[in-house]
């Protein structure tokens, strides 16, 4: 088996792991759709490369308003690698206690909201504290982790607690310990991670189920859609409507701090 075939084979195994979680995915989607139908939002957070899953949820083609993507650049800005804004600083900051609280002070959250917190290891301090704060506020938390990796890893928290300890529901990407899935001959360490595949499958499965629940409730979402499918004018209308809806929803999250979006004011 070539290394390419090995990666594809193990990716198919990840699909099987995700498929077995259909009932859990439906539960998460029900919680999220309830928040959206109530006019609130689903807060989506991930540090490090978990940012990929946050942006996969919203905004991109096939996505819709109702999700609040919390992407802190100090924790996720990887492309410089070294120097100012380098990876060493990001890896340090994602284990600084208290940073999650500073981030969430920007939002007026309540128990009607829900949250999706993503961390492959489930052991870094900021995502763990993010989930802990959400739970303390009565918010249901869905954790997206790599189960095998989480179980084999040691938490960076002094009390040893992991992200799964502050989750009402845990979803598993299906990737292996260490994430990388392919051993190249004569290379000691594995390459090519798998958690992104499992994570993308999970968030898009949730997204599809939420869309169905919203539509069944008589509130079909305004989906960001390519012009090649619906025509340029319709695509533009959908984008503007979806962005306006997001602005209106996010303004409610900022009200505690006296911040109000111009678009939200106009819509009111």
Residue of 175, 100, 108 lying closest to 144 (CA atoms): 175
Tell me the sheet residues that pair with 169: 142
129 token code pair: 């504290």
255 band by pLDDT with thresholds 50, 70 and 90:
low
Residue of 140, 130, 167, 133 lying closest to 38 (CA atoms): 140
d(CA 148, CA 71): 25
Instruction: Report pLDDT digits (tens) over 124-164.
Output: 999 999 999 999 999 999 999 999 999 999 999 999 999 99
Instruction: Report pLDDT digits (tens) over 44-85.
Output: 999 999 999 999 999 999 999 999 999 999 898 878 899 988
Q: Is the pLDDT of residue 112 over 80?
A: yes
Give yes or no for a contact between 59 and 246, defined as CB atoms under 8 angstroms apart: yes
Torsion angle (degrees, nearest 10) of CA 245, 251, 252, 256: 170
What are phi and psi for residue 81, nearest 5 degrees?
65, -60
Instruction: Report pLDDT digits (tens) over 186-226.
Output: 999 999 999 999 999 999 999 999 999 999 999 999 999 99
The domain 3-209 having CATH identifier 3.40.190.10: the answer here is: no
Helix, strand and coil content of the chain, in percent to the nearest 5, comes to 50, 10, 35
- Enumerate the domain spans of the chain: 3-209, 222-268
**Region of residue 225 (phi > 0: left; psi between -120 and 50: alpha; otherwise: beta):** beta
Count of other CB atoms within 10 angstroms of residue 239? 17
Give yes or no for a contact between 146 and 198, defined as CB atoms under 8 angstroms apart: yes
The three-state secondary structure class of 224 is: coil
The CA-based angle 115-222-39, given to 5 degrees, is 45
Q: Is the pTM of this model over 0.75?
A: yes
């Amino acid at each position: 088996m070539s290394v390419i075939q090995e990666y594809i084979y193990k990716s198919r195994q990840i699909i099987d792991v995700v498929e077995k979680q259909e009932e859990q995915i439906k539960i998460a989607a029900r919680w999220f759709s309830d928040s959206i139908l109530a006019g609130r939002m689903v807060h989506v957070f991930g540090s490090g490369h978990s940012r990929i899953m946050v942006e996969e949820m919203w905004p991109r083609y096939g996505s819709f308003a109702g999700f609040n993507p919390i992407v802190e650049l100090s924790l996720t800005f990887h492309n410089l690698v070294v120097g100012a804004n380098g990876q060493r600083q990001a890896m340090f900051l994602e284990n600084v206690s208290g940073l999650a609280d500073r981030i969430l002070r920007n939002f007026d959250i309540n128990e009607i909201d829900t949250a999706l917190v993503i961390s492959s290891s489930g052991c870094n301090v900021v995502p763990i504290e993010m989930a802990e704060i959400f739970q303390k506020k009565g918010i249901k938390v869905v954790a997206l982790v790599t189960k095998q990796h989480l179980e084999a890893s040691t938490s960076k928290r002094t009390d040893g607690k992991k992200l799964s300890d502050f989750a009402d529901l845990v979803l598993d990407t299906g990737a292996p310990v260490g994430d990388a899935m392919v051993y190249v001959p004569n290379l000691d360490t594995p390459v090519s991670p798998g958690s992104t595949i499992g994570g993308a499958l999970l968030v898009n499965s949730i997204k599809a189920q939420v869309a169905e629940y919203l539509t069944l409730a008589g509130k079909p979402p305004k989906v960001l859609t390519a012009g090649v499918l619906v025509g340029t004018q319709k695509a533009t209308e959908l984008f503007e409507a979806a962005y306006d809806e997001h602005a209106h929803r996010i303004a409610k999250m900022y009200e505690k701090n006296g911040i109000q979006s111009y678009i939200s004011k106009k819509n009111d």
